[in-house]
Amino acid sequence: MPNPALIPTFLRELLVARSLPREPEPDLVMDDPQQVAAYAEAGRIDGIMASSYLFHSAHITQVIQGCRSVLDLGCGPATQLAQIAQFNPETKFKGVDLSDRMLEDAERHVRTLGLSNVGFSQGDITRLENIGDGSVDAVISTMALHHLPTLKHLDDCFAEIRRVLKPGGAVYLTDFGRLKSLKSVIFFAYMNSQHQPHLFSLDYERSLRAAFLKEDFDSLVDRYFSQAVKVESTFKVPFLVIVKTEDKPLPIALRDRIAGMYKALRPRYRRDLNDMRTFFALGGLRNDPFA
pLDDT of residue 18: 46
Length of the chain: 291
Instruction: Assess if residue 290 is contained within a domain.
Output: no
- Measured at the alpha carbon of residue 143, what is the angle toward residues 137 and 147, in degrees to the nearest 5? 105
What was the pLDDT predicted at 93?
98
Q: Give the CATH number for residue 228.
A: 3.40.50.150
Question: Given this model, what pLDDT does residue 226 score?
Answer: 87
Q: Is residue 77 part of a domain?
A: yes
In whole angstroms, give the CA distance from residue 237 to residue 241: 10
State the pLDDT at residue 179: 80
Provide the pLDDT for residue 159.
98
Q: Where are the alpha helices (DSSP H) in the chain?
A: 7-16, 33-43, 50-63, 79-87, 100-113, 151-164, 182-190, 198-210, 214-224, 252-264, 267-283
Q: In 3D, which of 32, 114, 29, 118 has the Cα closest to residue 76?
A: 29
Whether 228 is covered by a domain: the verdict is yes
Per-residue pLDDT of the chain (291 residues; tens, 9 = 90+): 444 444 444 444 444 344 567 777 655 455 555 555 555 555 555 677 899 999 999 999 999 999 999 999 999 999 999 999 999 999 999 999 999 999 999 999 999 999 999 999 999 999 999 999 999 999 999 999 999 999 999 999 999 999 999 999 999 999 999 887 777 777 776 776 766 677 767 777 888 888 999 999 999 999 999 889 999 999 988 889 999 999 999 999 999 999 999 999 999 999 999 999 999 999 999 999 999
Provide the number of structural domains found in the chain. 1
Whole-number pLDDT of residue 13: 42
Q: Is residue 291 part of a domain?
A: no
Q: How far is CA 79 from CA 58, 76, 288, in A?
A: 14, 8, 22
Please give the torsion angle defined by the CA atoms of residues 149, 205, 142 and 287, in that order, rounded to the nearest 10 degrees. -130
Residue 224: which domain range?
A: 4-283
Which ranges in 114-197 belong to alpha helices (H)?
A: 151-164, 182-190
Buried b (16+ CB within 10 A) or exposed e, 8-23: eebeeebeeeeebeee
Q: Is residue 289 part of a domain?
A: no
CA–CA separation, 9 and 283 (whole Å): 18
Examine residue 25 and state whether it is found in any structural domain, yes or no.
yes
pLDDT of residue 45: 56
Asked whether residue 158 is domain-assigned, the answer is yes
Asked if residue 142 belongs to a domain, the reply is: yes
**pTM for this structure?**
0.85
Q: Cα(114)–Cα(102) distance, rounded to whole angstroms?
A: 18
Residue 231, strand partner residues = 243
